[in-house]
């Protein structure tokens, strides 16, 4: 069976595929992996995911490569981050082996939905863990559902690897220093919706967050990590409210491999003026170069140029090359799922 999809013009959105995979946690243990073709979930109206935010998700991709194989990228890191989130909001941890087994099964069952190489599209993998047990009091659930669905997606930002403008928001915080910012939970994204809409209404691609406590330091580019480059050095913020991006972690290692220095530390907002290049990084876009960042409160524009800088391009090309099996995977980040 074939798909009549215009891969080159596919948006970053949901497309129905053939199967998803599910696993239930009941009576203190994870059950067997199940294959399902339904898009809906039978859910109790008092489920803790609906009332108390016991919900976590991940995002990773499968790549159809020029050698004919299909690879996934650093799924062990996604499993570890999900486990960290589980510890943070009191959900049972899914073993890494089970996580990878379900990722592989979801990809293989939906092989016909994996976009062709060089189409500009990829297969996005969405693991989701929710509390399904009925509770009225504020306490953890005793039952959970872990599922993985996949969907083919185009670039997160229109134009793919092209520069985008951002605006600093001081009227909203995505997360707090001792809150859930380091966990990948839906509440953090709900907290970003208003500021994101404001940024779009003003003509920006995304909002840009400062630290919630003092509004002095860089936190995140919308839902992505930030990096800046100057003097052959890759800078990225260190904060207790920033989600640990697997893409950023990978880019830091790639930067070292390419001979760059790496500094991860608190970065004052004024330091933006010193960077030669800047970017947002994450699974969806890999790298989205930043053209400029406006600070409406001070009237300052931090300008990085209308095109991606040379280091941003080299980092992007190298990481994508590893993901597609074109460049040597010397850190053993990819795993062949099909082929």
Q: Backbone dihedral region of 68: left (phi > 0), alpha (psi from -120 to 50 degrees) or beta?
A: left
CA 306 vs CA 48, 162, 165, 290, 292: distances in Å: 46, 8, 9, 8, 8
For 34-56, give one letter per residue: b (16+ CB within 10 A) or e. Answer: eeeeeeeeeeeeebbbbbbbbbb
Please indicate whether residue 184 is annotated as part of the active site: yes
Provide the pLDDT for residue 105: 98
Query: 306 and 162 in contact (C-beta within 8 Å)?
Result: no
The pLDDT tens digits along the chain (339 residues) read 557 899 988 999 999 999 999 999 999 999 999 999 999 999 999 999 999 999 999 999 999 999 999 999 999 999 999 999 999 999 999 999 999 999 999 999 999 999 999 898 999 999 999 999 999 999 999 999 999 999 999 987 766 678 999 999 999 999 999 999 999 999 999 999 999 999 999 999 999 999 999 999 999 999 899 999 999 999 999 999 999 999 999 999 999 999 999 999 999 999 999 999 999 999 988 999 999 999 999 999 999 999 999 999 999 999 999 999 999 999 999 999 999
State residue 71's pLDDT score.
Answer: 98
* Residue 210: closest CA among 189, 198, 226, 197: 226
Burial 102-125 (b: 16+ CB within 10 A, else e): bbbbbbebbeebbbebebebbbbb
In degrees, to the nearest 5, what angle opens at C-alpha 159 toward C-alphas 68 and 312?
Answer: 80
Say which of 69, 184, 213, 261 is annotated catalytic: 184
How high is the pLDDT of residue 158? 65
Would you say the C-alpha torsion 192, 163, 242, 211 has a positive or negative sign?
Answer: negative
Write down the pLDDT at residue 284: 85
């Amino acid at each position: 069976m074939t798909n009549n999809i215009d891969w080159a013009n596919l948006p970053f959105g949901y497309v129905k595929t053939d199967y998803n995979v599910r696993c239930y946690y009941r009576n203190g243990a994870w059950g067997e992996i199940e294959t399902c073709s339904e898009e809906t979930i039978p859910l109790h109206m008092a489920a803790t995911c609906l009332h108390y935010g016991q919900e976590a998700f991940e995002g990773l991709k499968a790549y159809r490569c020029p050698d004919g194989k299909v690879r996934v990228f650093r799924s062990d890191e996604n499993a570890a981050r999900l486990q960290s989130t589980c510890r943070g909001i009191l959900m049972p941890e899914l073993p890494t082996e089970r996580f990878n087994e379900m990722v592989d099964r979801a990809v293989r069952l939906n092989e016909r939905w994996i976009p062709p190489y060089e189409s500009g599209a990829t297969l996005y993998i969405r693991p989701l863990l929710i509390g399904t047990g009925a509770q009225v009091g504020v306490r953890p659930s005793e039952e959970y559902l872990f599922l993985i669905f996949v969907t083919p997606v185009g670039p997160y930002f229109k134009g793919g690897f092209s520069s985008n403008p951002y605006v600093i928001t001081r009227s909203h915080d995505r997360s707090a220093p001792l809150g859930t910012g380091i966990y990948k939970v839906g509440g953090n994204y709900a907290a970003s919706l208003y500021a994101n809409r404001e940024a779009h209404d003003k003509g920006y691609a995304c909002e840009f967050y400062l630290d919630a406590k003092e509004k002095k330091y860089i936190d995140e580019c919308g839902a992505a990590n930030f990096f800046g480059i100057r003097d052959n050095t890759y800078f990225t913020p260190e904060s207790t409210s920033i989600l640990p991006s697997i893409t950023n972690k990978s880019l830091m290692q790639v930067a070292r491999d390419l001979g760059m220095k790496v500094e991860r530390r608190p970065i004052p907002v004024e330091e933006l003026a010193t960077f030669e290049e800047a970017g947002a990084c994450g699974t969806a876009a890999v790298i989205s170069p930043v053209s400029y960042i406006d600070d409406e409160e001070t009237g300052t524009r931090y300008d990085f140029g209308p095109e991606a800088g040379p280091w941003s391009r080299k980092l992007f090309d190298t990481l994508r090359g590893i993901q597609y099996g074109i460049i040597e995977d010397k850190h053993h980040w990819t795993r062949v799922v099909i082929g």
